[in-house]
Chain A
Amino acid sequence: MAFIPHTSADVESMLATIGVSSIEQLFDEIPASLRVKSLDGVPVALNEMQIGRLMSERARADGHPLCFIGAGAYEHHIPAAVWAVTTRGEFYSAYTPYQAEASQGTLQLIYEYQTMMASLTGMEVSNASLYDGASAVAEASLMAVRANRKSKSLRILVPRTVNPQYRRVAVATAGNQGLRFEDVPFATDGGVISLDALKKFEGEDITALVIQQPNFFGQLEDVDALTDWAHAHGIFVIASVNPTSLALLKPPGEWGTTGKGADIVVGEGQPLGVPLSSGGPYFGFMTTRMEYVRQMPGRIVGRTVDLSGREGFTLTLQAREQHIRRAKATSNICTNQGLLVTAATIYMSVMGPVGLERTAAASHARAQELVSALTAVKGVRRAFAGPFFHEAVVLFDRPVAPILASLASRGILGGLDLSELYPELGYAVLVCATETKTTSDIQSYVTALGEASAAVRAA
């Protein structure tokens, strides 16, 4: 029996204690008409050896192509120590730290994580994480509505340079509470938010503006000008940022020229020690200023003292959360991505500030090398001018899908086809390279591209 330890002697003894003659009798309160007859749709049990073999076969079938896709999930080297320690049973199988005395390991780790994220983003306080980067934008929008007392409109500006899936998730999550997410177009030469396009919102009641840095195209936005503009018009700034890039780029807490910085910062934490894993589990981070801490959703850990005056850690500000405020909660969120936060905290500790900076710089260098190599190929050019970080949009001179398919058959995932998300860009691909790619890898891509193009032309 899978993971059930009882012997028949155990069962007999327990039934006798209870005073029933069979386990079935314990279900006698349930109407007979409701009882399951059979579960034929579930296959018979596999033992561990058999399931191990099946999973290995399936993994082998998926293989390990060379991946040049970014678009919100980034391949970085993860030191072995990160998951060796994270999968220790005491972290892996621990519960939410509600009984603080039995959870000081998890609680202290989260406190350390909060410290690191606040500093990385240039803000004053962090929560213990949210589900992922996409839902974090939704939560930040809801938070902006609560915190921006001057605005009543519930209108959130989401430029088209923000990850389109983030916008979809925000609409699906917060649309039912009356929030409206509005487009802002991008300037076609630079692939960044157009300040001109923002002008039409001046004088209107807007609650928040989302600024993604680097943006979905990998381009760098003029965050100071955008932040100043938003604040001048009473609009909250929600920054959605890549954490690795923050080792090189100015953190949102320092955006703008008035000393105020972004109001709420969110992002996808996956690049910090979390494997690609087909899209999850990841974690979303959220940081803000102390004046808004009570509006922040999710769990927060605080340091305090115990009855003997000894230092200890505990969940705090829980009165905001669902289990106390019920219908008035700031959100219904009940979880934080504990295991991923553990991995990220260990990753940031092992890499340290220098390691993270080197990773960012190497990724930047490899991406530039990739773009140079690709644009040296006939028929391939950059879509946008201006600086980019670790990914960029390149344009082909013919439809992208057959080329990418042909590359894939040669073991190379060349990038993300943008023709559905941004048809106005034409034959566009979002390509990415991180520190995990070598010059030789990039050369393989170029060679395969030559073969793929020839194959497509011949077809």
Chain B
Amino acid sequence: MSNVPPDLRYTKTHEWVRTLQDGTVEIGITDHAQHALGDLVFVEVPESGRTVALGEPCAVVESVKAASDVYSPVAGVVAAGNPALAAEPEALNNDPYGKGWLMRLQPTKGAATAELMSAADYQKLLQTEGA
């Protein structure tokens, strides 16, 4: 049973989105995703100032058995990539919704976003995937 915090929103590709006070969005990968990957050995986050399109691969998470792209659920400009993950990729395994955040974006006004589902809907998705 993986952890799915109720106050966040989720994508089909196992990213989570949190809207922050200052209007930026914080993005990471879910507990289910980190568990499937296994112990992370390397995480690459985008540099701040980079413009990303909706659905563009903008981060990489790598374990011993798999390397996965992370797709941006919104279009926008990167405000920051999490600097702690370079030295401590396991922070993402240990705290995927907290210290393991991947990046913060300033979303482009009026741009379309990916289909973001509620925690309940994401739970349903996990059940159908047999997680």
Contact = CB atoms under 8 A, between A and B. Distances in A.
Nearest to A294: B42
Nearest to B44: A294
A459 B64 CA distance: 69
Nearest to A324: B66
A260 interface: no
B69 A319 contact: no
Contacts of B64: 318-319
A294 B62 CA distance: 10
* B interface bracket (residues with beta carbon within 8 Å of A): under 10
With most chain A CB atoms within 10 A of its CB, the pick from B42, B62, B63 is B62
Main secondary structure of the interface of A (DSSP, over half): helix
Interface in A294-326: 294, 318-320, 324-325
A296 B65 CA distance: 18
B67 interface: yes
A378 interface: no
A199 interface: no
A88 to B, nearest CB: 31
A328 B66 contact: no
Nearest to A318: B64
Nearest to A314: B64
B65 A324 contact: yes
Interface string B53-95: 0000000001111110100000000000000000000000000
Contact of A325 (B41, B42, B67): B67
A328 B64 CA distance: 16
A51 B121 CA distance: 70
Contacts of A324: 65-67
A319 B63 CA distance: 7
With most chain B CB atoms within 10 A of its CB, the pick from A294, A319, A328 is A319
Interface string B101-120: 00000000000000000000
A324 B64 CA distance: 10
A356 to B, nearest CB: 35
7 contacts: A294-B62, A318-B64, A319-B63, A319-B64, A319-B67, A324-B67, A328-B67
Given A320-B67, A324-B66, 7 more contacts: A318-B64, A319-B62, A319-B65, A324-B65, A324-B67, A325-B66, A325-B67
